[in-house]
Structure 1
Amino acid sequence: MSTEPTILPFGGKSPRIAEDAFIAPGARIIGDVEIGPGASIWYNCVLRAEGPGIRVGAGSNIQDGTVVHITRRNEGTIIGENCVIGHMAMVHGCILKDHSFVGLGSIVMDEAVIETDAMLAAGGMLTPGKIIPEGEVWGGRPAAFMSKLSDERREKNRRSPLEYAQLAQLHAEIVGDAGAASAN
């Protein structure tokens, strides 16, 4: 098993990765991608930007098997700080504001927005241009309003990036220097 993630330029633009970001083996980071301090990109994720860029804010975590891509019709994909994107999600040409949460197996489509402290439930599909307002939980296919985010759930969602940052440190020790990418 290779302990190296794949980090490739595209169209003259190379990924820029904070020194303390965790990039797991098997991850693919291609083109105009910027990954902030303390972020974690887990096993077998693909972040690919051939046009407008992908920005991943500090402390955000993108879990195993997730695909993040862009659409040439907008400004790229923006993932704010301390966001959580669950396993096997598809995030495409959209905006996730700080502290937003995307559940396992969810799809966030072109020009959709998940506002601060908002949540797309596991398996949800946020269709193009839809907005999940701050403090709301949406779910289903297509996603629709389910409830207000409880204070308890909001706190749990805000703790999750910190827990993943600690877990990333343990994984970085296992994979060695290949797990902590150098800034490009």
Structure 2
Amino acid sequence: MPIHPFAGQAPRIDPTAWVAPGAQVVGDVELGPGASIWYNVVVRGDVMPIRIGARSNIQDGSIVHVTRKLAATSIGEDVLVGHMAIIHGCTLMDRSFVGLGAIVMDGCVIEPDGMLGAGALLSPGKVIKERELWLGRPAKFVRRLTDEEVERNRRGAAGYVELAKMHAGSLA
């Protein structure tokens, strides 16, 4: 099983959440209902807590960590974190989106429906406001998201809940 206690703290995983084989969930981590941790993801709450809300997904190869005595990681509900992303000591609010290979550093906040595009680097302490799209290395504000883009991201989170159920069923 890819669930490991550390320093007296064991991960707390809702019975409806799914952790893929090969993923590693360590320490003070909480996964909400319908959340999914995909193949080869590391969620390491060894020196500060990590909270992942209902129906959020951390896609294949991503890393979620914290900074000792400085920054926990909080991921809200219905959040999409794309493949190979690094989420470190930050806050991803409800319905936020982190694209493939993007990096979110200490003290950053992505507000509801905010989006960090693929490959972007959000440097420490930056805030992506509600419905903003940021791109680049370092990431900068590009434009406001359209209603259609916001709706597509919301459907994506719901789609991952269903996909996780299918994977869990096929591996049972």
What TM-score does the superposition give when structure 1 sets the normalisation length? 0.92
Correspondence for 1:131: 127
Which of 68, 71, 87 in structure 2 is aligned with 1:72?
68
1:117 alignment partner AA: D
Which of 139, 153, 171 in structure 1 is aligned with 2:149?
153
Shift in Å, 1:52: 1.5
Q: How many residues of Structure 1 are paired with residues of Structure 2 in the alignment?
A: 172
The 4+ residue runs of structure 1 with deviation greater than 2 A are none
5+ residue gaps, structure 2: none
Shift in Å, 1:27: 0.5
Shift in Å, 1:64: 0.2
Correspondence for 2:83: 87
**CA offsets 1:128-176 (integer angstroms, 9 cap, x no match):** 0000011100010000011101100000011111101111111001111
Shift in Å, 1:69: 0.2
**Structure 2 residue 19 is matched with structure 1 residue 23:** yes
Which of 96, 100, 111 in structure 2 is aligned with 1:100?
96
Q: Identity across aligned pairs (percent)?
A: 56
1:115 alignment partner AA: E
2:136 alignment partner AA: G
CA RMSD of aligned residues (A): 0.8
Shift in Å, 1:73: 3.6
Bigger RCO (CA 8 Å, 6+ sep)? 1
What TM-score does the superposition give when structure 2 sets the normalisation length? 0.98
Shift in Å, 1:75: 4.4
**Structure 2 residue 30 is matched with structure 1 residue 40:** no
3-state SS of paired residue (1:38): coil
3-state SS of paired residue (1:153): helix
